[in-house]
Chain A
Amino acid sequence: QKEVEQNSGPLSVPEGAIASLNCTYSDRGSQSFFWYRQYSGKSPELIMFIYSNGDKEDGRFTAQLNKASQYVSLLIRDSQPSDSATYLCASGGGADGLTFGKGTHLIIQP
């Protein structure tokens, strides 16, 4: 059974600080990992994907993957109130579809 685990939060971060979101996965065969943002009542919106060990940066966002530890993280620099949302970690893709975690609710405090 493939599982993706996230701390549900809420995670409260002051505006301008770095928000750090974490995720672990159970399937050692997973190759692809994704971070989605979901506002309440809306659909998941892709932020980043990462396939290789190490860091991947895109603007204010950095995804980190450690396959040995089966750990994925997302850092959000210079957090803005508009970043307040639920962040979903997912693995997989392809025919099996994505396996999602329950998400971490992030609150950016002005």
Chain B
Amino acid sequence: EPEVTQTPSHQVTQMGQEVILRCVPISNHLYFYWYRQILGQKVEFLVSFYNNEISEKSEIFDDQFSVERPDGSNFTLKIRSTKLEDSAMYFCASNYRGRGTEAFFGQGTRLTVV
């Protein structure tokens, strides 16, 4: 069964460093997303990506964040100058048609900023 895959599963980084989280969406899906879940809190939408550009972004997704689809399979989230409060689970998701279709989530990357 096709699945969304994310790497790494756990990343520890020092405050101020840059990190890149990687995702391979399901191959025939067209919409890609990043979500964040701080420990004990709700899953929060960060950004959506369609046709090689950002479709929507939340207030959380400020200039510290960027996304890219560097090739035909990978979808990345870059966090520049990480802060302690960036520590969270980051989930990548994809779906086929966007509105009205279910999104499938990767297993997540646990980011710990120390």
Residues of A near any B CB (own CB < 8 A): 31-32, 34, 36, 42-46, 49, 51, 88, 90, 93-103
Asked if A96 contacts B48 (CB within 8 A), the reply is yes
18 A-B contacts, Cβ less than 8 Å apart?
Answer: A32-B99, A44-B91, A46-B103, A49-B102, A88-B42, A93-B103, A95-B50, A95-B99, A96-B45, A96-B48, A96-B56, A97-B35, A97-B45, A97-B48, A100-B43, A100-B44, A102-B42, A103-B42
Whether B98 pairs with A88 at a CB distance below 8 angstroms is no
Within 8 Å CB of B44, what residues of A?
Answer: 100
**Residue pair A97, B33 in contact (C-beta under 8 Å):** yes
Contact residues in B for A43 (Cβ distance below 8 Å): 89, 91, 105-108
Query: How many A-B residue contacts, CB cutoff 8 Å?
Result: 71
With both beta carbons as reference points, the residue of chain A lying nearest to B110 in the complex is identified as: A41
Please judge, given known A-B contacts A43-B108, A100-B42, whether A95 and B98 are in contact too, CB under 8 Å: yes
Q: Give min CB distance, A74 to chain B, whole Å.
A: 15
| A49 contact set on B, CB distance < 8 A | 102
B55-114, CB < 8 A from A: 55-56, 58, 89, 91, 95, 98-108
Question: Residue B41 at the A interface, CB < 8 A?
Answer: yes
Question: Please, which residues of chain B bring their CB within 8 A of the CB of A46?
Answer: 102-105
Residue pair B45, A98 in contact (C-beta under 8 Å) = yes
